[in-house]
Amino acid sequence: MKADSVEAGDGQDSVEFSRLVTVEDLKPGVIERSFSPNTEESEALAQRFGVTAVRSVTADVVLRRKGRSHIIVLEGRLKAEVEQPCVVTLEPVTETLDEQFVLRFTLDPAKAGDPAKAGDLAKAGPESAESAGSEIVIDPEADDPPEPAGPRGIDVGEAVAQQLSVAINPYPRAQGLASRGEVFSSGGPDDAESDDDETSENSGKVNPFAVLEALKSGEKDGKD
């Protein structure tokens, strides 16, 4: 793939990690791009995601356009290393990510986000279906409607940044700590406390609530 074949910062000025593939470049065929953020962009991405640091990101994307179709299919893979504090101990936790994704864009703004016009979910729109007296059939396994390409092209850097944002673990935990799901698997802290009581009884471990109850009973017997 072409490495860093698009210049940094040539897309939207407000985007932290911009790599623009221009409309002029989006001709029928295949376009390949490989790129990584520079130091300033990595720091900006870390601030955007609310993490301590984005240590590394590498992205490989392929854009495909068949014939005169207005649809552009973007297939991508990103690898990243992100550091953020543990939600329990605040110790630094490093997460290694390897994600693949597929996105669809359209060069025709009139068809962006419209599954009927894009031919994804239905053969006709709601008005046509009503006039024909038929129901609208939606295929849950069909592709999502395509997103509109920008007026200047497709910002593949921003597309990668959005995928990275979704992939980052929102509840990082230091090694050896139970996950959020394990601690509250029964629905909440109260359930977790009940599970701890049962586990203590079955495993022979001292239950702090049982010890407290025993002390109270001892004090009561002493008074009697």
**pLDDT, tens digit only, all 224 positions of the chain:** 544 345 455 555 578 999 999 999 999 999 999 999 999 999 999 999 999 999 999 999 999 999 889 999 999 999 999 999 999 999 999 999 999 999 999 998 776 655 544 444 333 344 444 444 555 565 666 667 899 999 999 999 999 999 999 999 999 999 887 655 554 444 544 554 555 555 445 555 555 556 556 556 655 555 55
> Can you give the pLDDT at residue 176?
84
Extract the tokens encoding 67.
Answer: 């014939």
pTM of the predicted protein model: 0.65
Cα–Cα–Cα angle for 63, 30, 107, rounded to 5 degrees: 50
pLDDT at residue 165, as a whole number: 97
Please tell me the predicted confidence (pLDDT) of residue 3: 42
pLDDT at 8: 53
How much is the pLDDT for 124?
37
Q: What is the pLDDT of residue 123?
A: 38
Q: Give the per-residue pLDDT at 169.
A: 97
Cα angle at 50 between 44 and 52, to 5 degrees? 80
- What's 143's DSSP letter? P
Closest CA to 155 of 101, 74, 96, 95: 74
Taking residue 30's Cβ as centre, other Cβ atoms within 10 Å add up to 11
Q: Could you tell me which residues come within 8 angstroms of residue 58 by beta carbon, excluding any fewer than 6 positions away?
A: 34, 35, 36, 78, 79, 80
pLDDT score recorded for residue 219: 55
pLDDT reported for residue 154: 97
Instruction: Identify the pLDDT of residue 84.
Output: 97
